Amino acid sequence: MAHEFPSKEWTDAYAEAVNGNEAYRTAGKDWAHGTVAMVVKADESLGIPADVGMILDVEGGRCRGTTYLQGMGAIEEADPAFIIVAPYPRWKEVIAGDVDPIKAMMQGKLKLTKGHLPTMLRFVESSRQLVVSAKNVPTRFLDE
Amino acid sequence: MTAPIELDPGAEDNGFALMLADLLRQNLEDHPDKARDFARLSGRVAMVVEDAGVAVTLRFDAGRLVVHDGIVGIPDLTIRAGSDDITQMSLMELLPRVRLPDPRGEATRRVLRASREGRIRMYGALANLPLVVRLTRVMSVS
């Protein structure tokens, strides 16, 4: 069954996909740098009235849990170590596997608004594998 | 003390410019020993990420840096590479005492291979070796 993106169900399915990705387990095995929030910017035309945050509690190559939040205030209060923000169409490209996450950041498609960039660069393969995992989630997009 | 690294007003929408400014700020905070190299950097460095279609100019002026969108002025050094190879350049391992790239390091070997294969191209490097060495030191996350 396809899960609507973004939603709590999609976020939970994403965690399962991350844990099912052997390559992520290897690339992220030394990750002990905190949670990662993917934030979809509010878009009234798509029925997203407030920013949506999907927070992944990743450590040691595993996703230990997720949090789904609405509103940037709530997301910031959850204090994720990393916050990556993009509008809906950009996340759609990432989930479809059409863009490399670091290249997308260089192009300004994804913005790291909080977090230690040198750490993220050290774990570049881990970031890639998170994207590969997203591709494996059966996804229903709001604009399709 | 926060390093004086600024974005030129036109660079605020350039993701690569934002990343480089953040990377250099955080590297200088994490490794205060890089401050000496940063203070001695002078010159213009253009970096072109070919597969991402973005370019920046780093204008170093003895302890200050302004990051510009696109190529501004005549660069002393120009680096052209793909996004993956540019990322590897920032991951190059440095030898502890001389703080030059460690040829045994995985990222350094990748960068050397990419240079040999023409995927990383540097123009002006031979004429500006101190600039290349100092830039490598301040950009490296190691």
Task: Give the tens place of pLDDT for each residue, A8-47.
Answer: 999 999 999 999 999 999 999 999 999 999 999 999 999 9
CA of B22 vs chain A CAs: smallest distance (Å): 7
A142 has a chain B CB within 8 A of its CB: no
Following CA atoms A34, B94, B19, B6 in sequence, which dihedral angle do they give, to the nearest 10 degrees?
120
User: Which positions in chain B touch A121 (Cβ < 8 Å)?
Assistant: 23, 87, 90-91, 141
Cβ pair A122:B91 closer than 8 A = yes
What pTM value is reported for the model? 0.91
Q: Which of A103, A109, A118 is the closest to B30 by Cβ?
A: A118
pLDDT tens track for B31-83? 999 999 999 999 999 999 999 999 999 999 989 999 999 999 999 999 999 99
- Distance CA(A116)–CA(A46), nearest Å, equals 31
Residue B87: closest CA among B140, B37, B34, B35: B140
Three-state secondary structure call for residue A75: helix
Three-state secondary structure call for residue A102: helix
Cβ pair A106:B16 closer than 8 A = yes
A116 has a chain B CB within 8 A of its CB: yes
Following CA atoms A21, A23, A29, A31 in sequence, which dihedral angle do they give, to the nearest 10 degrees?
-80
